[in-house]
Structure 1
Amino acid sequence: MQKACRYWLIAVSLQRKHQQIMHMNVIKSLNQRGQHNWIKILCLAVGLATGIVLIGKAGFEQSWDKDFDTSDRIYVLYEDIIRDGEYQHYSQTSGAIAHGLKRYCPQVEAATRYTGFGWDLPLVTEDDKRIRTNFFFTDSCFFDVFPYRILAGNPKKTLSQPNYCMIPQSIAEKLGGDVIGKKVYYNKRGNLALTIGGIYEDIPLNTRLHDLEVLVSMPTLPQITWDGRDNWVGNDRYFGYVRLAEGITPDDLKAQIAKMRRDNLPADELKKAGVDLDYSLRPLADYHTQDDATRRMIWIISLLAMVLIGCAVMNYLLLVIGGISRRAREMAVHRCYGAEVRNIYGRVMIESVLHLLLSLALAAGLLFVFQDTIQELTGTPLPVILTTGHNIGFIALTCLVVLVITGLVPGWAYTHIPMTAAFKHYNHSHRAWKMLLLGLQFGSATFLFVLLLVVGRQYQLMVNDNPGYDYSTLADLNTDELSLTQKRLVVSELKKLSGVKGVTTSYAYLPEMQSGDNIFLPGDDKEYMNVADLFDVGDDYFEVMGIPVIAGRTFTQQTDTMREAMVSRKFEEKMKQLAGWDQAVGKQVICTSYEGPYTIVGVFDDPRIGSITHPDTRPSICFYDQNMRYTHHITVRFHDMGALDAANKRLHELIPENPDVVMRPYTMLMTQLYTDAHRFRSTVMIGGMVALIIALIGLIGYLAGELARRQKEIAVRKVNGAHIIDVLQLFIRDILRLALPAVVIGAIGGWYVSRLWLEQFSEKAVLLPVLFGLCALAVVVVILSVVCIGCYRVASSNPVDYLKNE
């Protein structure tokens, strides 16, 4: 009995000592020949780095407007209009509506409204320091609804006094920090003076309000624009929000909203106009995340993250399985020394933990090095992407899943190695596993390249599409920072330049959404339609812009006194349906932003207003302004764009005090319209390259293992008369049987996902089947090229080198 116990204790001691040796050898195994551990770590690091960024971006998009404890009780106020049976839905309302809801609905705890009046314009200090920012009129209840932290000042008092403002912390720091009570100017020194009355924490990026920066008190509004704060109908420029009491839903407010409408809206006038006006509330937290385009984008980005991380994990497993034959004896010897199944799993899991930690460290280094590129691609700083919402938890869960897969699958394979492998050569190829993993990688790479093809074609369509005017030699100058005298001087001097073909002015900038106005006929109370009002244009507008005039004539210098208007083709066609017109020229209309009737003198072909992503499809109307009183844009047509530098040089000579005023080519402005599409294209491009590189690394590892296993077979074939091409065909046939169905499945998946992505655009790239076939063929060609290069050395070598030891 004592002897048996002694043997048992010795066995246990040996087993424990062996386990310690196993664990100590884990680090040494990093450099073990034939295991490709550093390649595994590198591929896993690259896959995790790109995947983590995409996971973070998807999580960031889902976190919008959820910053407060009361976020679930904040609602956006919408205006619902039914005009001639056509339903329209707007998130901007008249000035009185938000506070009207607070007055009529006791369930509303707080209500606020704001409206913008200056974007990317200077905030100027007394010493002429300039900070470009956005300006918004905000009422005193803003921080009751949105409880952002106040760092200094009293927001209620500040936003109730004329000529006062609150600024975010970032601007306060640029101004020196101690800024309470100091005066700044809107747009330029000597213009509207504003006293800084408070500082608030910066509004985060993941909210609908992130453009709000300088909050100017609402009583200041009459000094800048027409005062419609108390309007119940019209001047629908205000964004309204309410915070409901706990347990209250928008349905609970319907009766009070109906009473508010009866008491304040001109029901008879609206009825005569053929308009039914109502209001509704929708959760702020759903405004972004429930948008169809956003939901599609989140789904696609998440799928890309899964594909890239999946490629990295599959490559890891492929390299592990490819090296099983080399480690068979090692694992069998461990088991002969008493290692149990759980010990083998523990050893493999420790290896996986070490590889994952090294991969994460390398991934962190890559993210740090490329953080500026990541911000450019995603539009969001890397720290925000990683820390917003539940992103840290999602990333940790992803790493845990990767650890489980990279630990359990190899562990299962090692524990199924026969014990006899310690005493004879173990050469199980695990070919089925390898082919499955390779096929998944080929399919993933094809999926991303097909998606890249479609995204690239759509992007090229958007930036090169014809918007209804030729913008190849156009440049735009925003005049919001110029005085009327400066505007007239600039126009006069630019016309003198030899490289300038024509100069015109306008209120509107066509690539942007335009303000709306309602159309009436003289003596008729009916409201016929809502149009995109281009407001005032200057001399030669249609000639300079290259917009065809299809009927009548353009404006003349007498138009200012003759009260003339021009309308688009859609305007004419719709009035033929609604009012029975035979033509538009000669007819009179009333537009709500202009007093009295105007006579239509011309019809122009509809240019695209807005972008392909967000087109304004309404008919349009414009008026004439010779004196540039309401000019916001000066547009220049050059003979060629080489003259732009000379024009900007002359501009700086005319306005030396403001170097920020510069003409920008329309080609650049059009490209900026589609920044999101460009970012998505670049993201897919990087993902596709990463996936293909990882797949090719896996293919190279697979070929190396197969060549080592079959080198004697190849030598025998060559001795029997086989040529190099015959040997290459052995491997090409095997890979083709795998690659062809994989790339077909990947191409079909890419086509389906790209079709979903294209649904957000009004104009779509043509998806010809031959394009998908060519994309799949390109992937197959790359794969076969790697196969030929990898196999050529063995296929062309002397067979004696492989048979001399037999």
Structure 2
Amino acid sequence: MLKHYWNTAIRNLRRNKLFTIINVIGLSVSIAVFLALISYVKYQFSYDKFYPGGDKIYRIDYYEYQQGLPVLQSARTHDRTALLAASYVPQIEAVARVYNEKAFVFTEDVRLVDQNMLFADSSFFKVFDLKIISGSPDKALTPPNSVMISKSQAKVYFGDEEPVGKTLYFNEHLPFTVTGVFEDVPKNSSMDFDFLLSWSTMPFYGWVSKDGDFNAPWTFTFVKLRDHVADIAAINQALSRMAKEHITTLKKRGHTGRYELRPYESLHTLPGLSGEVKPSTSKTLLYALLSLAVFILVAAWINYINLSLARSIERADEIGVRKVFGASRTAISGQFILEAGILSFTTFLLGLGLYILFTGPLSDILFTHVTFSPTSTITWLLYLFAFVAGTTLIAFYPAHFMSRLKPALILKNKLGSGKGRAGLLHQGLMMFQLFLAVAIVGVTIIAGRQIAFMQQFDSGFNASATISLRAPASTNSDSLRYSRYTSFREDVLQLAAFTAGTASMNIPGEEIRYHDEDVHAVGSKNEKKQSFRIMWIDEGYQETFGMILTGGRNFRDREFGNTCIINETAARALGYANPADAVNTSILTSEHKPVTIVGIWKDYHHESLRKPVDPIIFYYHHPHEYGYYSFQVQSRQGDYLEALEKIWHKHYPNDQFIYYFMDRFFEEQYRSDELFGRLLNLFSVISITVASLGLFGMASLAMVKRTKEIGVRKVLGASVWNILVMLSSSYVKLIAFSCVFAFPLAYYLMYTWLQEFAYKITIQWWMIILPGVIVLAATLLTIAGQSIRAAMANPARSLCDQ
């Protein structure tokens, strides 16, 4: 009997090629997209979940306010915070300070720059339970000039030799002894590092105080709480009491400050603060992608239900004959469910193949810069079981509906018009599918406009013709660093390709490293104070990046010391309604040093449009470490890069030549938004395609059901146009009802998303109406062929066939 059911199911799937092809395409594409999105979202949510006891790890964040308004919201704290935290919060089991840097790390044979390193307390491993391959976690980071290294970098620098006891050199030839090796930190970490340097090294060289201070927040502080600690609010209050009692500069500035715990395992998906190591990912975006994955799969299942219900009239004779010969409802239902099982198993395998294709050979086209979570065989089997079970359950209603058909009515061709409960379900599911299509297209259009707005927005500086080089790390403490740079710049500017050059601590597209919360204008009554970003530059910055001077002058050559340039936002923050009025006035810094403002630059967007323009103070100061050397390029054509590299190695033979095209560097900030837009475009097409496939199949079957009606109408004088309008009107009504619900949803979702941007588009009426027009056009084009064919058919043949 089972073999008979199996053969019958295969025969029915082959016989009804239109039904089978539509469902195979719809379900396989949908499962491929579903798997890709689930894998991507799963990877994003897996960030920082790999440390044992990670749910007890927290980062202490620092917030500073004036009159209740935020002045600073920082992921970093003062370096003395860690030393006092446990005395205020006995629930703390362990605490560790961390300071991140990019370093030039080398031996006699291997020289690599931009290596991820951390200065870390000796208690680091009590907070972060890394797997130690060699060395003592309790003692390895205690002595000054000690370093622990990751397994992969130990292989890079020392090959198969034992690394413990060997020497690595950092930046300006500082020697560090390798005291241990740890397992590589996974890529899905908010804090990348391959080298852990002992914190004691910094006070040993006099870079910081041994006991720390509360002057400025510059280091990360991580704590691990004891078991069963639940009252985080009470801990935050205790930490804030510590801030009030020890940050003495707050009262002087008229500010208030507080500390707050942030769960380490949530760093990647919570809104980012100033000083983050990596940009966070929007949780809203991840949930939106997850919803899209489910919606597209549901749309394919809706296709299956609708086509199965629509095919009931075609299979009515089969069902009637089977019932006359004694087939039970269970047997008939089982036949249809078996067909659904075969179809779902086949489409899952096809979908899995498409997923492998999407995320493998075609990943650079569809999912550029996307990392997917690795999936185990057991997980794949669970996905297969869930999909087959889900599709089979979905098929239960059509099977149940068809098994209830009465043989007498079937054989007398009196099944009715389909306006009962099945008909309502049929219409409701179609409307829901169209609702999803309209909503997704609406979201895509608005997101696309915002992304295009960001890409085309005038950021206020010249990015298209600028190249930036990573400044040499080997000369960080070299007293001749500045003179070496000026010689290098002079040689570069001898090349016809370059017109201007500058050295700066940061470049546009990168968060400005330093800030000062105690800046105010000398003699000003302005009481509003806030965090001013501090940039170190030279006189070439204005010409190289195309800064627009709105008042005063540029720096003069080698104008070190008591002058600065500020942007318009900084002038307003100092209390000047007209920014130009700030020229030749003075400010006092946190060091109580008077500095004269010699120029005002027009505001430019140093970072993405998600953030408002910060008040920035520019000092003439050559970066003592890292930084960038940037040059304006007349044209990207020619071999100027090769010539630039030769000059680099002439002046900096010990440093790698690393360069960035500024326009690409700046656009990296929008990578996640561009990915979101690209995925939305892809899913809009898939959503409309899946909906159109279902409508095509349903329209084909509907024409079969209405053949006699169309013939009668034509005999009574209806024109082809009348028939087309009649056949299309029901679909137009469904789309109209779908739009009523889809338009508000799309508007709400995108209005919420746009609030993440300081500069954004305004949602206009056409952005809401256009998705409905697009889906309507796609629907009418989909059913046009069947409608025209039915309208132009010979009525005599239609009536005779009936």
Same fold (TM over 0.5): yes
The one-letter code sitting in structure 2 at the alignment partner of 1:215 is L
* 2:97 matches 1:113: yes
* 2:644 matches 1:642: no
Q: Alignment partner of 2:117: what SS?
A: strand
Over 3 Å counting, the alpha-carbon distance change for 1:179 and 1:27 in structure 2 is farther
* 2:744 matches 1:754: no
Contact 2:22 2:694 in 1 (8 A): no
Deviates more, 1:369-378 or 1:240-249: 369-378
The one-letter code sitting in structure 2 at the alignment partner of 1:704 is S
Deviates more, 1:506-515 or 1:486-495: 486-495
Over 3 Å counting, the alpha-carbon distance change for 1:534 and 1:577 in structure 2 is closer
Partner of 1:283: 263
Cα deviation digits, residues 328-365 of structure 1 (max 9, x gap): 23333444444433333333333322222222211211
Over 3 Å counting, the alpha-carbon distance change for 1:566 and 1:413 in structure 2 is same
In the aligned structure 1, how far is the partner of 2:128 from the partner of 2:579?
A: 50
Q: Alignment partner of 1:230: what SS?
A: coil
Partner of 2:536: 536
Contact 1:42 1:362 in 2 (8 A): no
Cα deviation digits, residues 757-783 of structure 1 (max 9, x gap): 112111112211022223321221222
Deviation, 1:697, is 0.7
Contact 1:153 1:180 in 2 (8 A): no
Over 3 Å counting, the alpha-carbon distance change for 1:377 and 1:298 in structure 2 is same
Partner of 2:278: none
Contact 2:564 2:598 in 1 (8 A): yes
Over 3 Å counting, the alpha-carbon distance change for 1:195 and 1:524 in structure 2 is farther
Contact 1:325 1:428 in 2 (8 A): no
Cα deviation digits, residues 496-516 of structure 1 (max 9, x gap): 233433222212213222221
Partner of 1:76: 59
Q: Alignment partner of 1:167: what SS?
A: strand
* 2:19 matches 1:25: no
Alignment of 1:324-363 (within 5 A): 324-363=312-351
The one-letter code sitting in structure 2 at the alignment partner of 1:493 is D
Q: Alignment partner of 1:156: what SS?
A: coil
The one-letter code sitting in structure 2 at the alignment partner of 1:447 is A
In the aligned structure 2, how far is the partner of 1:364 from the partner of 1:600?
A: 63
Partner of 1:46: 29
In the aligned structure 2, how far is the partner of 1:784 from the partner of 1:258?
A: 63
* 2:570 matches 1:571: yes
Contact 1:112 1:141 in 2 (8 A): yes
Deviation, 1:253, is 4.8
Deviation, 1:206, is 4.5
Deviates more, 1:674-683 or 1:649-658: 649-658
Over 3 Å counting, the alpha-carbon distance change for 1:39 and 1:481 in structure 2 is farther
Over 3 Å counting, the alpha-carbon distance change for 1:391 and 1:570 in structure 2 is farther
Partner of 1:203: 185
Partner of 1:180: 163
* 2:580 matches 1:598: no
* 2:460 matches 1:460: no
Deviates more, 1:56-65 or 1:499-508: 56-65
Contact 1:569 1:603 in 2 (8 A): yes
Contact 1:575 1:581 in 2 (8 A): no
Deviates more, 1:550-559 or 1:371-380: 371-380
Q: Alignment partner of 2:763: what SS?
A: coil
The one-letter code sitting in structure 2 at the alignment partner of 1:25 is T
Partner of 1:100: 84
- Among 434, 441, 464, the alignment partner of 1:449 is 441
Over 3 Å counting, the alpha-carbon distance change for 1:228 and 1:67 in structure 2 is same
- Among 298, 301, 309, the alignment partner of 1:313 is 301
Partner of 2:357: 369
Cα deviation digits, residues 283-325 of structure 1 (max 9, x gap): 3344445549734223322321222111111111122122212
In the aligned structure 2, how far is the partner of 1:503 from the partner of 1:766?
A: 39
Deviation, 1:213, is 3.2
Partner of 2:123: 141
Contact 2:440 2:746 in 1 (8 A): yes
Deviates more, 1:712-721 or 1:677-686: 712-721
Partner of 2:275: none
Q: Alignment partner of 1:326: what SS?
A: coil
Partner of 1:609: 606
Partner of 1:13: none
Deviates more, 1:324-333 or 1:675-684: 324-333
Contact 1:522 1:597 in 2 (8 A): no
Deviation, 1:677, is 0.3
Deviation, 1:219, is 2.8
Contact 2:584 2:597 in 1 (8 A): yes
Partner of 1:232: 213
Partner of 1:3: none
In the aligned structure 1, how far is the partner of 2:458 from the partner of 2:522?
A: 40
In the aligned structure 2, how far is the partner of 1:302 from the partner of 1:338?
A: 47
In the aligned structure 2, how far is the partner of 1:229 from the partner of 1:50?
A: 54
- Among 102, 119, 144, the alignment partner of 1:162 is 144
Deviation, 1:725, is 3.3
Deviates more, 1:99-108 or 1:479-488: 479-488
* 2:780 matches 1:784: yes
- Between Structure 1 and Structure 2, the one with more helix by share is 1
The one-letter code sitting in structure 1 at the alignment partner of 2:121 is D
Alignment of 1:247-326 (within 5 A): 247-248=228-229, 249-250=231-232, 253=235, 257=239, 265=246, 267=248, 270-289=250-269, 291=271, 294-326=282-314
In the aligned structure 2, how far is the partner of 1:732 from the partner of 1:581?
A: 63
In the aligned structure 1, how far is the partner of 2:330 from the partner of 2:472?
A: 73
In the aligned structure 2, how far is the partner of 1:30 from the partner of 1:480?
A: 68
Deviation, 1:736, is 1.7
Contact 2:538 2:558 in 1 (8 A): no
Partner of 2:671: 675
The one-letter code sitting in structure 2 at the alignment partner of 1:603 is I
In the aligned structure 2, how far is the partner of 1:507 from the partner of 1:422?
A: 82
Contact 2:60 2:220 in 1 (8 A): yes
The one-letter code sitting in structure 2 at the alignment partner of 1:559 is E
Contact 2:63 2:258 in 1 (8 A): yes
The one-letter code sitting in structure 2 at the alignment partner of 1:767 is I
Q: Alignment partner of 1:767: what SS?
A: coil
Over 3 Å counting, the alpha-carbon distance change for 1:616 and 1:794 in structure 2 is closer
Contact 2:22 2:697 in 1 (8 A): no
Over 3 Å counting, the alpha-carbon distance change for 1:739 and 1:247 in structure 2 is closer
Contact 2:144 2:200 in 1 (8 A): yes
Please provide the CA RMSD for this pair.
Answer: 3.7
- Among 149, 153, 157, the alignment partner of 2:135 is 153
Deviation, 1:801, is 5.1
- Among 429, 437, 440, the alignment partner of 1:437 is 429
In the aligned structure 1, how far is the partner of 2:173 from the partner of 2:17?
A: 74
Q: Alignment partner of 1:136: what SS?
A: strand
Structure 2 gap segments, 5+ residues each? 273-280, 476-480
- Among 371, 376, 380, the alignment partner of 1:381 is 371
The one-letter code sitting in structure 2 at the alignment partner of 1:436 is G
Over 3 Å counting, the alpha-carbon distance change for 1:480 and 1:721 in structure 2 is farther
Over 3 Å counting, the alpha-carbon distance change for 1:259 and 1:428 in structure 2 is closer
Partner of 1:6: none
- When the two structures are superposed, what TM-score results if normalisation uses the length of structure 2? 0.86
The one-letter code sitting in structure 2 at the alignment partner of 1:758 is L
The one-letter code sitting in structure 1 at the alignment partner of 2:596 is T
Contact 2:552 2:598 in 1 (8 A): yes
Partner of 2:391: 403
Deviation, 1:55, is 3.3
Alignment of 1:690-705 (within 5 A): 690-705=686-701
Cα deviation digits, residues 161-192 of structure 1 (max 9, x gap): 3333333344445554655327575677x734
Cα deviation digits, residues 380-403 of structure 1 (max 9, x gap): 53334x569x98899579637733
- Give the total of aligned pairs: 774
Over 3 Å counting, the alpha-carbon distance change for 1:524 and 1:194 in structure 2 is farther
Over 3 Å counting, the alpha-carbon distance change for 1:699 and 1:392 in structure 2 is same
Deviation, 1:522, is 9.7
In the aligned structure 1, how far is the partner of 2:173 from the partner of 2:68?
A: 46
